Amino acid sequence: MNEALYSRDHAEQERTGEERMCDLRHHSLEARIDELQKTCEMRWTTEEKAMIARWAGLERRFETNDKRVYEAKLVADKAIDKAEALATHRAMQQNEWRATITEIMTSMVPRTEYAVQHQILAEKAETNAKNIDREMSGMRERANSSRIQTLILTGLMTAVFTMLVYLVFIHIR
């Protein structure tokens, strides 16, 4: 063992100062490289953890956004359904209104036609009233008893009432 120590010491002495400087630099560089590797590994681990945390945060945000988008879609679908229902209801009301107007237009008499028909009926009513008056005056002269006069008046009143009812119903139509 002494010999091994001696040979190493001797080999050490034989080396030049430059070689020793190279060895020192080599050892220094190796230490620096080891130190940089450890630093890089630490930073990599830290960055990797940060990336994993960011990724998890992004995943949570995507899930939250997916839920919000789904909820917004449901709300939009409900709004569309309500709008369609209101549009359908409005169309039905418009159709009912159109049907009512059409019915009125087909069943009602125009004013000009009504005026002509009313004038004709009024003239007939006057003529009938004059005829009734003439006949009544003739009947009064012929009838001496109050019973006959009462019957005649009742008949005439019924006729006038019937005529008035007839005129009112025509006027309503």
pLDDT of 80 reads 93
At 82 the pLDDT is 92
- Please give the single-letter amino acid code of residue 105: M
DSSP string for residues in 81-133: HHHHHHHHHHHHHHHHHHHHHHHHHHHSPPHHHHHHHHHHHHHHHHHHHHHHH
Which pLDDT value is given to residue 107?
79
Tell me how far apart the alpha carbons of residues 80 and 46 are, in angstroms, rounded to a whole number.
50
pLDDT value for 89? 92
66 in Cβ contact with 59 (< 8 Å) = no
- The model's pLDDT over 10-49, given as tens digits with 9 standing for 90+, comes to 555 555 667 777 777 878 888 888 888 888 788 888 888 8
- pLDDT class for 86, splitting at 50, 70, 90? very high
Give tens-digit pLDDT for 103-154.
888 877 778 888 888 888 888 888 888 888 888 777 666 655 666 667 777 8
7, 9, 23, 63, 132 from 14: Cα distances, Å: 10, 9, 14, 72, 168
| Interatomic CA distance for residues 169 and 110, integer angstroms | 16
Compute the distance between CA of residue 145 and CA of residue 153 in angstroms, rounded to an integer: 13
What pLDDT, on a 0 to 100 scale, did the predictor assign at position 3?
61
The pLDDT score that the predictor gives to residue 79 is 92
